Structures are given as C-alpha cells and as structure tokens.
Amino acid sequence: MLEATPLTDGWILRHEQEALPAVVPGCVHTDLLAAGVIPDPFLGRNETEVAWVGRREWTYETRLPEVSSGHEQTDLVFDGLDTAAEILVDGQLLGRARNMHRSYRFDVTGLSGGLTVRFRSAYAEAEAVRGRVGERPAAYTEPYQYLRKMACSFGWDWGPTLVTAGIWRPVRLERWSTARIARVRPLVTVEQGVGVVELHVDVERTRVEAVLTLEARVGGRRVRAEVAGTSGVVRVEVPDAELWWPRGYGRQPLYDVEVTLHHESAPLDVWRRRVGFRNVELDTSADAHGTGFTLVVNGERLFARGVNWIPDDVFPSRVTRERYRKRLRQAADAGVDLVRIWGGGIYESEDFYDACDELGLLVWQDFPFACAAYPEEQPLRGEVEAEARENVVRLMPHPSLVLWNGNNENLWGFRDWGWEERLGGDSWGEGYYLGLLPRVVGELDPTRPYTAGSPWSGSWRRHPNDPAHGTHHSWEVWNREDYADYRLHVPRFVAEFGWQAPPAYATLRRALPGEELTADSPGMLHHQKAEDGNGKLRRGLERHFPFPEGDFDRWHYLTQVNQARAVAAGIEHWRSHWPVCAGTVVWQLNDCWPVTSWAAIDGDGREKPLYHELRRLYADRLLTVRQGETGLVVAAVNQARERWTGTLSLRRMSVEGELIGAVDVPLLAGARAVAEVRVPAELEPAGAKEFLVADAWGSPAHGDPSRSWGSPRSSGAESGGGAESGGRLRAVHFPVPDRDVPYPRPEFEVAVVPGGIEVSARTLVRDLLLQADRLDPRARADRGLVTLLPGERVTIGVEGWETPDAAAARSALYCQEPAR
C-alpha cells in the first residue's frame, strides 16, 4: 500500500549567514517575522520596510528521512511551491518549478541526504520572462503577468505589496510499488433521478505486466473494473440519490466516494472524496432584454446572492481550515449563496471547497488571470495548461463548484484600457480565454459551464461590459458617479460592484498603534491603496451627508453608513428586477490585511455595517421602495419557495413623528417572484421633512438568514432600507439626501439587558449603530444600522463584552444628527 510521510520538521531558512527555523507549509515572510528579523508588515507603514524580502533569493533546507527498501519507488511531492525554484538532493538537481498554482512530483528512489529548495526572486523571474516575450500592459506597474503566481501578492488597490516565496503547501514522500493512482476524474451527474458517478482513473506503474483492478464505492454501492494499460473507468449508479442544493433551496447531502487500486487481492492505493448529486446549467439565451446570464441548479433558476472572495491573507499559508470555515460561515449567515473566487488570487485549498459543499455556497471559480495582458508564449503557455488541467480535475468532486470563468476584466481591458493599440498584435491572453481554457474544461469537466471572462457579453460583436448581455462590472459609479446611479440600469448579472469604507475602529487602532487618527493621517493613507480613494470617499459622502471636517469618529461612522447605503441602492434595485437581472456579486466579502476597502468583513475579521446590511439585502424576502413610471412603487421580492401573503402598511410621516396619512393593502408575492404595489399619490412624501414607511406583515420566509423576526434590524438608502420586527419587513424612503433632511436631535434611552443593550427611541433615530469594538476589541454586535420611529425600541445583542455598562454603550452609539 502507498505510504505517505509528511515533511514538516527540521526545515531551516537561509538568511545571509544565518540559518533560521522555518515552518513548512509557510513562506519567507512568516518565517522572518517569527524570527524577529522583520517587523509586522501589517502595522503602520512597515510594509515599505520589508520590500527587500521579495527581491532576494531564499533557500529552504532539511534532510530526507531514512526510508525502508520495502517499496519499489519513492516520490518527493510538493503540493505548492511559490514560485520559481530549483529542487536538489545532496546537490543533485531534481528539477525546477515556476508555477505557484500547481504541484510537482520528483522520483527520489535511492536518494538520501540533504534536500534543498532554492527560490529565485519572483521579480527576477518575472523580469527575465518579460525580457523574452516583450512588454505587456496591465492595470498596475508590478510585473505579475509574467509568471504564474498569486497576482495580488504584488499589491492591488486593496492589498499590500508583499511578494512572497516559500513552500506554501504541504510536501511529503510517497513510497509505493507496482502501481499508484495518479489521477481520478469524477463526472457526477443525475440521470432521471439516478445519481451517477463516472470515475476516470489514471495510474502510474512500475510493473507494466501487473494485472490491476479498480473497486469504487459510492453510497453503499460497489463496482469493480479492470485497468487497461494506465487507465480505467468505473461507473457507479446510486438509485434515488438525494439532490444537493444551494443554501435556501434544500439540503446539502454529501456521499463518500472511495476508489481502491488492487493488484490481485492486495490494495495498492486509495483515493477518497465526497460528492453531491446535482445538475448545473448556465442560461445565456437571448431574449427581449438582451442576453441572459442565469444559473440553473437542478432545474431551478436562481437569483445569485453573491460576494467576491480574495485570498483571506496576503500570506495564504496562514489561512487554516477553521479560518476558512469561519469566514464562509459568516457569508452564509449573511444570506450569501454564491462566492466568486477572484482571478487575482489562487485556487483555494480543499478546506475552502469542503466548507462550501457543506454550507450550500455555490462557487464561481476564476482561472488566475486579472487586469493584465498575459503573454501566450512559452514558458507561460505550457504552465497555464498544466495548472488548468490539474486544478480542474482536483476541484471536480465538489458540488459547490458550478462555474469556471476564464479571467477577471482582461477582455474588457483589451477593448477599453488602451491595450489593443499598445500591444500592436502581440499575444495578450485571448487564446487562453477563448481557446485553451474552454478546451480543457470541455475535455475534462463537461458537467460544468465555462464563461470566457467577467465581464463578458458573449461576443466581440458587443462591448465586453455591455450591461444588456452577460456579466457586467459596475465601477463607473464608485469611481465617478453617485451610487443613486445604480438605479439607472438593469444589467443581466452584476458580477462586481461596491463601495469603500474604513475597517472597524479596533482594527485601525491595532494596525496603527500610537497614531492620532484622521482621515488623511500617514497610517490611514498608507492603508488606503485605491487611486484617489479618500477623494472618492469624500465626494461620495458629500453627495449625501454634510462632511464632518476634523471629526474622525463622525467621518468613520458616516463612511461606513455610506458604504451600506451604496450597496443597498444597487442590490435592492437589481433584485426588484428579477428575472431580468439574475444576480449580484458584491465586491468584496473579505480583506487580506487591515485596510480601507470595499470589504464587508475587515482584515481582522470584524464585520462592518455593510455585513449586517447584506443580511437584510440577501434575505429570502426583501421590501424596497423605488420610483416607478408614474410614482413610487413598493417592490416585494420573494425568493422563498412559498408564496408571500400578508398586509402591506404604508405610512406617510414627518421627521418630527407626525402621522400624515396611512393605508393597509393586501400583499401577495408568488414563490421566487417579485410583486409591485403602487403607493397612493396622497401618501408620497413631499419635501425634506417627510418620509414613507412601508411595513409588510406576514409569516417569515423559511430561508431568511435571521430565522427570527425580532426587533428592528437595519435601514438602507434614501429610496429603500428596511427593518424586521415581530413578523415585519420594513422599507423607509426619504425623497431627498440626508444632508437635506432636518433631522431632529435624537433622543433615546439605553439600558443593559441580558446579552446586550436595549435602545428605546423618543424621536426618530436613523441609522443607529453600536460600534461594539469600541467597548472591547473582542466585542461584537449582532446587528448593524437600525432606524427607529418614536416609541420603538431595539435589543442589540453583544458578545465579548465583559463589563456591560449603559453609559459606555451610549458612548459607542452613533446615529444621524441635525446638520451643524
């Protein structure tokens, strides 16, 4: 039987004349940090102090363990090397690596002694390739497009430039005889209610003449087949297989699959995974609105409630199974059902996809190409094909994986960013996205759809980012316009859009120790990587709120409110236009370090107000107010499997709390449908002092992430927003921006209650937010922005707060105030 021995102990890292202890898996930066050689690059402006690390060559050393002679072959297997490396045993060159995204295997039979892995600087490797293939344009100046490495380690508009090197995934010795399983490619489908697993198995042999057999077991079913030469196929049928569904649509049953390779009666090797039975399609058919982009799982058409995922740490080897699960659990708890793994990162570890399988999170997997023209000459082309073939097969067992995507923004960049003229006919990646990658996916994984890029309209006959066709990235709004402009268009699928905000206060305090915080203090500016990021934050804020000059705490609060409002403006509008629009993928769920960014969860894992707003926006049922052709309309979005029946209560109110008019009307929204109710003209608010409250009363939807309709939860933009209370969904509509609303001075009482605090409003209290981390860095509130009418109250749960105190809680509460 194949025996595997992990090589985790005894590694050293050569630094100048020193030998430092090294952790494998790991990277140079984490080893230097542990040894005290470099400061924490996440703190202050230390990032610039460690830039030299990426320019150096680094060597890892250990000794191969003594092995018995009971096996015919011994292989040295690296699951991941970052990135350009030579591998030697006792000075003998075994081979070279130049791709972070694939594994490497070397025959070390009979070899012993010192194992050396010598890493070349990624900069030196990239510059050498650039010298061979010529210059290619990119969105950033760093040379990430010239080697197969995590692009964002060279920095991004949310990430630091920390160019890593190291043995970033496990390494082991494998000893075997006669034959081993080299690859298993499972095609998992459902045929007329029968689950089918067709296992295509490749083997490597030391004995050509040996008669080999395969035994496969799935869900209690067992099938055997012979190996012809170096391959065999086993088909296992599971009658009445239970279907795997995305979260909110059904359960996520998983079936153990085991493939054993036998010689005569002796087992030689075994392969184990879990699969789920489901069918997935991508409907890109033309209709009256253009060209659709709708995911269909088990025949059910979905509005995808998505988030974009970046590497959760700029040093990916630090991301543990538990950390993956926590972050993805946060996504699921926010109502997310799709996670897009963005193309400037990595193919994630099995731990990521396992968690998605169990949580019912659909995975959209980008191939690692982002925001650059990528050469198609060697040595890159061969590496691209090798990594694609390996990772397509590696990830195929996971039912959560539903879409392969060729690249991020490169087709768009060729057309709009001046690349076409600069390239002058040179290769730039089109051959990958429209040729190589669809061929590899079609050959190896025909059970899943492939799309050439995001954004992509499906044809060069149309603009790549045409909102009426395929996927659309909406970045003009953040860069140049007001987020109210999200409501001007109904794209078929919004694969990227977002708005920035700073991280939580405790995150800033940890990352910028001793600094007097201002919006443009040195540390704040260093942890703002977007071009003119603070300028865009200011202009976006000034369109809606009076700018709080010289008041950092108020600036911090309002920019976080504005982020939640901006994303709400988009999602409410686009969800209310289902099925024309079939999905939104917010940029972004997470951060890889403490930074002002578009993330809903900051670099220390703290949830911004946007995170809690996503819980409302992505719930099965959403209430929003929008402008119709002849007046205001309340849209009741029902993504639940049951129809939504109840009563819609409409109230026209003044900011002083006066009820000007009210009416109750029946509400009926079909399953997976949107219903519209016209607001009577006499209830439409007039002027800055009035607003509309829409409350929908009825039973909670089965799939709502809150599972409980307690006290009021959150509010949204001027044209939308909502709260839940005792079986109620709420939307609040103000006809003018907040800067023009004459808010009363907020009056409310605060009391400590078991598990948190209770706030009772005596006046209108809009966008109430408890920044729990100001009470204790470990504290977390269970909700974000809340709007209360006079006489209403809300209970805010707080975890991690050891000494509850009402006065302290009041000091950490923020809300809208009268203009100063």
Write the pLDDT tens digit of every residue in 160-215.
Answer: 999 999 999 999 999 999 999 999 999 999 999 999 999 999 999 999 999 999 99
Report residue 369 as tokens. 């190409």
Cβ atoms of residues 691 and 608 within 8 Å:
no
What pLDDT does 700 receive?
Answer: 53
Return the H-helix or E-strand segment holding 472.
strand 471-473
What pLDDT does 672 receive?
Answer: 96
- Mean of the pLDDT values across residues 74-81? 98
Q: pLDDT for 661-685, tens place per residue?
A: 999 999 999 999 999 999 999 999 9
Spatial distance between the Cα atoms of 261 and 94, rounded to a whole number of angstroms? 28
* Helices 321-333 + 350-359 axis angle, to 10: 30
Q: What is the dihedral of CA 186, 369, 400, 360, to 10 degrees?
A: 170
Spatial distance between the Cα atoms of 656 and 688, rounded to a whole number of angstroms? 12
Q: pLDDT for 427-451, tens place per residue?
A: 999 999 999 999 999 999 999 999 9
β-strand partners of 5: 173
- Mean of the pLDDT values across residues 577-604? 98
Name the one residue in this structure whose structure tokens are 């087949």: 225
Spatial distance between the Cα atoms of 778 and 797, rounded to a whole number of angstroms? 14
What domains does the chain contain, in order, with CATH numbers?
3-174 (2.60.120.260), 178-275 (2.60.40.10), 619-738 (2.60.40.10), 743-820 (2.60.40)
What pLDDT does 705 receive?
Answer: 37
Q: Would you mind telling me the total number of residues written for the chain in this entry?
A: 820
Q: pLDDT for 223-245, tens place per residue?
A: 999 999 999 999 999 999 999 99
Which of 792, 791, 785 shows the shortest CA–CA distance to 813?
A: 785
- Mean of the pLDDT values across residues 28-32? 98
Backbone angles phi, psi at 809, to 5 degrees: -60, -40
What pLDDT does 720 receive?
Answer: 42
When pLDDT is cut at 50, 70 and 90, the band that residue 698 belongs to is low
Backbone angles phi, psi at 478, to 5 degrees: -60, -40
